Amino acid sequence: MKTYVVTGGSGFIGSTLAEELLAEGSKVINIDNFNDYYDTTIKISNTIESCGLSVDSCKLLEESSKKEKLKQLKEKVDSENYILEVVDLRDLEGLERIFSENKVDTVIHLAARAGVRPSIEDPILYQEVNGRGTHNILECCRKYDVKNIVAASSSSVYGNNKIVPFKETDPVDFAISPYAATKKANEVMGHVYHSLYKINMAFLRFFTVYGPRQRPDLAINKFTRLILSGESIPVYGDGSTSRDYTYISDIVDGIIKSIAYVENNKGTYEIFNIGSNSPVSLTEMIETIEKVLGKKAIIERLPMQPGDVDRTYADVTKLKEMTGYNPSLTFEEGIEKFVEWYKGK
């Protein structure tokens, strides 16, 4: 049985990945700090579901403190194949305890302080969590002889790249948000550890991921909620901005294939785009949600926000050729699946 550390394993992508790894018979150690970026109860629900347990059968005391809820959660989900560790990436001592107590085969490092716009308001926090936190993970891998890492980067590193689709060989020296800068810096520091300590490594530049368990602040989730409740949706700009959307099942399949690639190819340091190679405009995204919901949106037009890029567009040729990655769901099919999940939760 392989043992995987999944940082951010209670988040949207992390919990879905953990569920898949458990289904394959692997052991998962989930490191998540349950920060205050969004409602802790959402991550608690993600964690329970990823372990194959019923949320209704694992209700935590409604009036309990956050600390007590997380203590109860750990008691509910910990098993021979799954361990929940509520530890902050900045806590090197706490991370070293985990790595010293477990023989880890591979780290999938997904945890980060999320959000482009909030990073402009508090850039030091983003540097501490995303920069120093990632460096702590690299140090633990070096010290405890973990030779395989798959880590989350971001399409935001491309900034307002004028050439599309975005390729891994494009220059990424012109970030327009602190969040993007931390992701680029992590790729560089990762290469240092690969070069010095022979750690096999792949950084995945995620484009926009959507589907069940998507964060409530992200557009598809937020717009679905507001349209159903009859509230206006905030639309920044004229609707012409576009994003490369990929459904969560395709993304997790790509992560699994990237893990296999890193584990089976010594001396690896790769950067991969992971997306759909099929951008959708903001206007098209809203129209698709309206179509699936059968309800028109009330649109509130607002100016473009600092740090927002005009478009993202992934060239995924490299990931396809090297791992067999092949995203299959169309955007409308994915929205149908998301809405079905949203209405049923």
From edge to edge, which strands make up the β-sheet containing 279-281? 208-210, 242-247, 279-281
DSSP-derived 3-state class of residue 31? strand
How many angstroms separate the Cα of 95 from the Cα of each of 27, 28, 55, 260, 315?
Answer: 17, 15, 28, 24, 35
Contacting residues for 255 by C-beta, under 8 A, at least 6 apart: 13, 17, 108, 150, 204, 274
Q: Is 56 exposed, middle or buried (0-12, 13-18, 19+ CB in 10 A)?
A: exposed
Domain range summary for the chain, segments of one domain joined by +: 3-344
61 pLDDT band, cuts 50/70/90, is low
pLDDT tens digit sequence for 196-235: 999 999 999 999 999 999 999 899 999 999 999 999 999 9
Helix axes 40-50, 66-77, angle to 10 degrees: 0
Point out the residues that are catalytic: 179
Q: Which residue has the tokens 């809203």?
A: 286
Residue 63 pLDDT > 80: no
Question: Which fold would CATH assign to domain 3-344?
Answer: Rossmann fold (3.40.50)
> Nearest CA to 315 among 205, 234, 215?
205
Upstream peptide bond of 165 is cis (omega within 30 degrees of 0): yes
pLDDT digits (tens, 9 = 90+) for 253-305: 999 999 999 999 999 999 999 999 999 999 999 999 999 999 999 999 999 88
Q: Which tokens is 341 given?
A: 């999940």
Task: Find the range with the poorest average confidence among 137-141, 181-185, 304-308.
Answer: 304-308
Q: How many angstroms separate the CA atoms of 167 and 30, rounded?
A: 31
251 contacts 276 by C-beta, under 8 angstroms: no
